[in-house]
Amino acid sequence: MPTVAPQFIRSRIGKVCVAITGTTPAEMLEKALAVVKDTPFIEFRLDYLEKPLAALPKFKHFFSENTAATGIATCRRSANGGKFTGTLAAELEILIKAATSGFHIVDLELESAESLKKADIQKLRDTGVAIIVSYHDFSATKDLEGIYQRIQPFHPDFYKIVPTARTLTDNVTLMRFIEHMEDHSNIIGICMGDAGIISRVLGVRAGSAFTFAAATTGEETGPGQIAARTLIDTYRIEQVDAATKVYGVAGNPIRSSLSPAMMNAAFRRETVNAVYLALQTHKLADLLKLVHEIPIQGLSVTMPLKQEIMAHLEKTDPLSTKIGACNTVLRAQDGKLYGFNTDVAGIVGPLEKRLSLRGAKVLVLGAGGAARAAVFGVRDKGADVFILNRTPETAQKLARQSGSKTIKKEALAKTTFDVIINATPLGMAGQKGAQMLEAKDLNTKLVFDLVYNPIETPLIRLARQQSIPIITGVEMFVQQGARQFEIWTGKPAPEEEMLRVVIHALRQQAETAPESPEPAAKTKARKK
């Protein structure tokens, strides 16, 4: 039978356990002290230490000083995905000693449990510590019931089952498994991997006893793990319940999308009981299954799904139909999906705040998805549009479809515009390639760069140097998101809060990306 009354443990813990790593006990304890006040439920990854056994007195001291802290001792062996290279007997010795050093819970891998003698496991149990028996599948989400059956003979206090999500629907498999267990209060279920991020937030809603988080971004102990502060502040995991509506941004890659930070901030500010998740997928069928299974109330759609999703929507607004792409999906009560294109509003809205588009002469650089939104959007408002693209044929096709003209690079120096819009990735952090425009080409009253990372692109700098007014891509990003918020909730979007969060996230990204080839932008961001 389980050793510690689960109720006793449960009354001490929240929904988030912070996994702490470090190469020395001092480093781990310093990190623990930094989080313990906010998140007193902590897993110490003893397997990251060179000499875990010798370090235990220091942890004992920590628990005696921090009586509100609840600690899990984990010493996962390398064969099971951890870092401990010692023997099974040594792992057992460490866990037994941990149990008498203030730890409330120990994590024993299923593989270790199966290799130990019953009497050895009894020794661990006799310490009175609560036991997690854990199983990690680093390749797939399969046979969860079978894993549960293997853990069951050990009668642990918690069953930790951690498969890897290869698809979004693997999360559904895990959540359904937890929901269908007769008593799921002792199950911890999480899917690893970028596609498994949903399970790290919604797993607790399905009944997972708690979830694991990284101490900070960059200190993840499992693929796809989210930092504790992000789980608590951005995703508001402590408030996620059965009534929480689920939204998300779908595409590939989605890992560094700023949409979750922005949209969750908007939901929090407007006290909407909703959570917005990153849905990593390149397969539309996978996404659509998730939308109907969870169910998801609304989607932001990005590359590569913006065009493909059109065929699966009940109805789309006229501009989405013209552009042939949709970035916003609303799921109606009957389950039917409706499509909108808020990229257009994200471009036209900021422009109309500054000038009348009727009869305005607009140059659009690029002929891809964003350019199509720009061209059709400003044409719809009566602008006279010129398109310049690396591949002239694509520009010509878009010009024909939208009633615009194409223009050659050589003609720019002699032509004046009211607005120049950059809808190519040129200037984006990490993007290689010479700039399309030089100073002599900027004969315009306004420059709008749709690229938003970095905020200050080379084109924006060039315009500023010539005292030309600018609009940054951040404004488009916030505006397209604000319109999505309004479509989904029917409430006005908290645009200022959304802008604040996006700028903060961009500055943080710039500071934590040393490999970024955009040193000028980084210096600028730091100075501010």
> Which tokens go with 367?
């002929």
> Catalytic residue at 306?
yes
Residues of span 287-316 touching ligand NAP by CB under 6 A: 303
Stretch near ligand NAP under the rule CB under 6 A, chosen from 58-66, 290-298, 316-324, 476-484: 476-484
> Which tokens go with 169?
């629907």
| Eight-state DSSP code of residue 410 | G
> Which tokens go with 171?
């999360």
Torsion angle, alpha carbons of 95, 96, 99, 103, to 10: -10
* Cβ 154 to ligand NAP shortest distance, Å: 51
Give 71's strand partners.
42
Q: List strands edge to edge, sheet with 447-449.
A: 405-406, 384-388, 361-365, 419-422, 447-449, 470-471
Our CB check for ligand NAP shows the closer of 137 and 317 to be: 317
Annotated active-site residue in 160, 306, 322, 522:
306
In the stretch 32-71, what mask flags binding to ligand NAP with x, by CB under 6 A?
----------------------------------------
- Measured CA to CA, the distance from residue 29 to residue 325 in angstroms comes to 51
Q: Is 323 exposed, middle or buried (0-12, 13-18, 19+ CB in 10 A)?
A: buried
- Measured CA to CA, the distance from residue 309 to residue 331 in angstroms comes to 13
- Measured CA to CA, the distance from residue 49 to residue 162 in angstroms comes to 23
Give 444's strand partners.
417
* Cβ 525 to ligand NAP shortest distance, Å: 17
Of 456, 421, 472, nearest in space to 442 by CA: 421
Positive or negative, the Cα torsion across 162, 163, 165, 168? negative
* Cβ 392 to ligand NAP shortest distance, Å: 9
Our CB check for ligand NAP shows the closer of 244 and 394 to be: 394
In the stretch 418-457, what mask flags binding to ligand NAP with x, by CB under 6 A?
-----xxxx-x----x--x-------------xxx-----
- Residue 407 interacting with ligand NAP (CB under 6 A): no
Our CB check for ligand NAP shows the closer of 354 and 390 to be: 390
Stretch near ligand NAP under the rule CB under 6 A, chosen from 124-132, 214-222, 390-398, 509-517: 390-398
- Measured CA to CA, the distance from residue 179 to residue 152 in angstroms comes to 17
In the stretch 333-362, what mask flags binding to ligand NAP with x, by CB under 6 A?
----------x--x----------------
Dihedral class, residue 490 (left if φ above 0, else alpha if ψ from -120 to 50, else beta): left
- Residue 377 interacting with ligand NAP (CB under 6 A): no
* Cβ 519 to ligand NAP shortest distance, Å: 19
Is the CB of residue 249 less than 8 Å from the CB of residue 309? no
Cα-trace Rg, the chain:
27
* Cβ 353 to ligand NAP shortest distance, Å: 16
- Residue 186 interacting with ligand NAP (CB under 6 A): no
Q: Return the amino acid letter for 209.
A: A
Cβ-closest position to ligand NAP:
368
Half-sphere exposure of residue 134: CA atoms within 13 angstroms, side-chain side: 25
Stretch near ligand NAP under the rule CB under 6 A, chosen from 53-61, 366-374, 408-416, 510-518: 366-374
In the stretch 222-241, what mask flags binding to ligand NAP with x, by CB under 6 A?
--------------------
Positive or negative, the Cα torsion across 505, 527, 471, 366? negative
Number of residues that bind ligand NAP (CB under 6 A): 27
- Residue 370 interacting with ligand NAP (CB under 6 A): yes
Stretch near ligand NAP under the rule CB under 6 A, chosen from 146-154, 271-279, 286-294, 475-483: 475-483
Q: Among 476, 499, 505, 510, which residue sits at the site for ligand NAP (rule: CB under 6 A)?
A: 476
Q: Which residues bind ligand NAP (CB under 6 A)?
A: 303, 343, 346, 366-371, 389-391, 394, 423-426, 428, 433, 436, 450-452, 473, 476-477, 480
Q: Which are the catalytic amino acids?
A: 306
